[in-house]
Structure 1
Amino acid sequence: MSSGSGKPTCADTRKICVVTGSRADYGLLSWLLHELRRRDEFQLQLVATGMHLSLQFGATVEQIERDGFAVDARVEMLLASDSAAAISKSVALGIAGFADTLDRLRPDLLLVLGDRFEIFAAVQAAMFASIPIAHIHGGELTEGAVDDAIRHAISKMAHLHFVAAEPYRRRVIQLGEQPECVFNVGALGVEAIRRSSLLSRDELSRSIGFDLAPPYLLVTYHPETLGSLAPETAAKELLNALDAFPGHRIVFTGVNADAGGQSIDGLIRGYVARNQGRAALWQSLGQQRYLSAVSHAEAVVGNSSSGLIEVPALAVPTVNIGTRQGGRVRASTVIDVMDSRSAIIGGIHRALSAEFRQACREAVIPFDGGDTAARIADVLAATDFQPLVRKCFFDLGHHDGVL
């Protein structure tokens, strides 16, 4: 019998079940998946869900398989609508689907990354099944998105925590997690940049079939689910701002399956249709092409976490719009602006200035943990999972000086 690990199961190997729900988290997890698969002490199980299984979002489960990973299970959970009610129903479907999947796979540990509702569903099913959970990228803040509450809830259900920076480690402990179970390992995305072979501008242009002759802006924008403006109103402010840079080509990446995402997607598609030859949209570039696109861009504009984590490591300016990423640690390469046309235009002008671009090349990157994937795998290899299931709350009042 074999699985996503590509190797036969043995009595002394432990089954690590990794859940991925989108192109974004798969790109971050890819080097860790390779690391887990190559180690004899682990049997990798891989479950795809969410946007991976949707044609609307590029059916990116096919990319996982092209990369040589076997997908042990597919959990369908997305509904056609992206209303708040539909998202809630999707979570319910996901819990039911993951309950069956985890009962069949019987992993020794569930490993998840991030804060999306698909992952929230998987973790709840694992919690009720008494399966230990390891969580990557906990302790962060995104004050303009419902993901913030989801992330903290996942941390409370998890048993091992792999965070990207020291402030995040302290915050997870503040949530009551045992300090010896919280590890600051840096960001997988920063490690991926160091280990990836990026495409030249010409290679990337040929790969996507769009001329990326300079200059161009890379735009990655998602709904601000707790924002004061309606998602489509905020998106119109961004698109109107981009009109102020007619000499720049615009490369859009796909919108997440969040509440309000479909309206933003429609607006972007309309913008591309009106600006043929100048603007283009790719639902999923994949990690190599996305990082390559970042590396050649004049600036990255939008509200994605990648603008705060991976983009600074490539010394490219980020214009971060609105409060979706409010509270995250950020490098000096990030320009925060409100979601208004004038503010966005001002932020882009600043990002394009020679002075700011030089400052980006000299900036300190806060999330470089070295060999992050290997560090995570080392902790897993050294940990007895089963005793983790019974958690004790770490009360700061009884442990002065810990933080």
Structure 2
Amino acid sequence: MKKILAVTGIRSEYFILQPIFEELTKRNDIRLKVVVTGTHLSPLHGNTYKLIENDGYNLIKLETLLSSDLLSGRCKSVGIQLMGLTDIVLREKPDWLMVLGDREESITTATVGTYMNIPVAHICGGDRVVGNIDDSVRHAVTKLAHLHFPTTRENGDRILKMGEEPWRVNVVGNPALDSIRKQENLSYDYINNRLGTNLKEEKPFILLIKHPLSSEIEEAENQMRVTLEAVSELGYSTIITYPNSDAGGYDMIRVIKEFERKYSFIKAFETLPRDIFVNLQRKAALLLGNSSSGILEAPFLKLPVVNVGNRQKQRQHAENIIFVPHEKEKIKESIEKAIFDKDFIELCKNCINPYGDGYSGERIARIIAETEINNELINKQIIY
């Protein structure tokens, strides 16, 4: 019986990890506990630990998020998290640590595992995203982690170029697609009753998810304002989820609340349940903003995406994405193209998804369970 301690700090990350958790709990040779930290314990971001709790997982709470909208606040949160996670690992004595991506919990988990000789399984390494601290963190975690699960062949090749031993690198696809594949279809009536909205099948609506960029935090407020000015002038029903906890997020939320008060067709939520979110992705005319969902999940759903600004630029993507700057008229033109351009809509319907087939969770669970924990695993070699 191997004990796995998985760490998650934000809702989008959990949506990707949950299919892995589900497969791990099916096995009789694995025992899973989940450390919830970061925005999961934040009322401002919807107390999303409750979603994980309702899914039946055994939780350990680690409160680390400072009430700050500054880069220094995020840095201090890393220190708090590192101390707290060290104590948890000392108490729980896991065989494996598991973490995803490129945020605070990624670097703290990888650091704790490396210093305490506990193997770290890293999901979604090898990505390339320009202009954000997440890119540097992700690659740093790769150099600390012991087993890698990139989502695409290109990302796997990038990990190999970093000098990682090939046997450590397992290209598995994006586990979030497992959740989408398994999620039942919900009716418009059901969604409207849950959200208090008035969405209709015959009327296009926009799903908007926009986060601040660490290299552009002074511009975050204006970037959200320009995007919402474009939305408000077009007048389509728009569902917004709040940005993440990065510096600049508070400014964005203030703008969202301002526009929500002013326009009845704009509706914002701190967070959304997974079943609702997946079905909104299925039914939306487009995904607007700069969320990784547009890169990782939208091509699986053949969903048009308008990606505004530099976040997600140069990340591997399918043909369903229009990249535009923070210019109101160009955003409006791109939204209209995504809704009405038949050629582009057909292109989206036939786009090639580079992120897998929706069966990643079982692959990851099996590889972790079957990997022997020994000196070869713990003592990493750099092969370049």
Q: Verify same fold: TM over 0.5.
A: yes
Tell me, yes or no, if the aligned pair for 1:218 and 1:250 is still in contact at 8 Å.
Answer: yes
For the residue of structure 1 that corresponds to 2:141, the secondary structure is helix
Amino acid at match of 1:108: D
One-letter code of the match for 1:384? E
Matched position secondary structure for 2:99? strand
Matched, 1:160 2:155: no
157, 160, 179: which one pairs with 1:173? 160
Question: Does 2:10 correspond to 1:28?
Answer: no
AA partner of residue 203 (structure 1): Y
Letter in 2 for 1:53: L
CA distance in 2: counterparts of 1:197 and 1:394, whole angstroms: 45
Residue in structure 2 matched with residue 342 of structure 1 by the alignment: 329
What residue number does 2:223 align with? 234
Instruction: Name the amino acid aligned to 1:93.
Output: I
2:207 corresponds to 1:221: no
Q: In the alignment, what sits opposite 2:367? A: 379
2:88 and 2:120 mapped to 1: Cα distance? 15
How far the C-alpha of 1:228 sits from its partner, in A, is 8.5
For residue 269 of structure 1, the aligned residue among 248, 253, 257 is: 257
Q: After TM superposition, list the pairs within 5 Å mapping 1:348-367 onto structure 2.
A: 348-352=335-339, 353-367=341-355
Q: Give the residue type in structure 1 aligned to 2:192.
A: S
Shift of 1:82: 1.9
Q: Is the CA contact 1:164–1:369 (under 8 Å) kept in the aligned structure 2?
A: no
Distance, in Å, in 1 between the alignment partners of 2:78 and 2:116 is 17
Contact 1:237 1:340 in 2 (8 A): yes
Show the counterpart of 1:8.
none
Q: Count residues with an aligned counterpart.
A: 380
Residue 369 of structure 1: CA displacement? 3.9
| Range with bigger deviation, 126-135 or 149-158 | 126-135
Deviation at 1:370, TM superposition (A): 4.5
Alignment partner of 2:287 out of 293, 297, 300: 300
Mapped partners of 2:267, 2:90: distance in 1: 43
- Matched position secondary structure for 1:87: helix
Residue aligned with 2:98, SS: strand
1:63 aligns with 2:51: yes
Could you tell me how far 1:37 is from its partner in structure 2? 0.8
Secondary structure in structure 2 of the residue aligned to 1:184: coil
Separation in 1, partners of 2:240, 2:187: 19
Structure 2 matches for 1:1-400, cutoff 5 A?
Answer: 13-71=1-59, 73-213=60-200, 214-227=203-216, 230-246=219-235, 248-276=236-264, 278-352=265-339, 353-387=341-375, 388-395=377-384
Letter in 1 for 2:15: G
Per mean C-alpha deviation after superposition, the further-off stretch among 377-386 and 177-186 is 377-386
Root mean square deviation, CA, Å: 1.3
CA distance in 2, matches of 1:235, 1:357: 26
> Which string of whole-angstrom CA distances, capped at 9 and with x for unpartnered residues, describes residues 271-297 of structure 1?
101113x11111111221111111111
Runs (4+) of structure 1 exceeding 3 A deviation are none
**Distance in 2 between residues matched to 1:245 and 1:144, nearest whole Å:** 29
Please state how far the C-alpha of 1:346 moved relative to its aligned partner.
2.0
Mean CA deviation greater in 182-191 or 352-361: 352-361
CA drift of 1:101 comes to 0.7
- Aligned residues of 1:309 and 1:367 also touching (Cα < 8 A): yes
Question: Does structure 1 retain, via aligned residues, the 8 Å contact 2:177–2:359?
Answer: no
Deviation at 1:164, TM superposition (A): 0.7
Cα distance in 1 for residues equivalent to 2:372 and 2:346:
48
For structure 1, which segment, 382-391 or 180-189, has the greater mean C-alpha deviation from structure 2 after superposition?
A: 382-391
Deviation of 1:219 (Å): 0.2
SS in structure 1 of the partner of residue 234 of structure 2: coil
- The gaps in structure 2 that reach 5 residues or longer are none
Which letter does structure 1 place at the counterpart of 2:278?
Answer: L
| Residue segments in structure 1 that go unaligned for 5+ positions in a row | 1-12, 396-403
SS of structure 1 residue aligned to 2:135: helix
SS of 2:106's equivalent in the other structure is helix
Partners in 2 of 1:26 and 1:176 — Cα distance? 29
For residue 64 of structure 1, report the CA deviation from its aligned partner.
Answer: 1.1
* Cα deviation code 1:228-265 (max 9, x no counterpart): 9611121121111112311x111101110001111001
Distance 1:228 1:381 in 2: 41
TM-score (norm 2): 0.96
Q: Which residue identity lines up with residue 48 of structure 2 in the other structure?
A: T
